[in-house]
Amino acid sequence: MAKEMAVSDQELVCAAIEARETAYVPYSGFSVGAALLTSDGKIYKGGNIENAAYTPSNCAERTAFFKAVSEGEKNFAAIAIVGGKHEKSISDYCAPCGVCRQVMMEFCDPETFRILLAKNSEEWKVYTLKELLPLGFSGKDLDK
Ligand code: THU
Q: Which of 24, 27, 59 to mutate to test the pocket of ligand 1 (most atoms within 8 A of CB)?
A: 59
Instruction: Tell me if residue 61 is catalytic.
Output: yes
Alpha-carbon distance values, 135 to 23, 102, 129, 138, 142 (Å): 31, 11, 10, 10, 14
pLDDT digits (tens, 9 = 90+) for 37-94: 999 999 999 999 999 999 999 999 999 999 999 999 999 999 999 999 998 899 999 9
- pTM of the full predicted structure? 0.96
* Structure confidence at residue 3 (pLDDT): 57
Q: What is the Å distance from ligand 1's center to 2 Cα?
A: 38
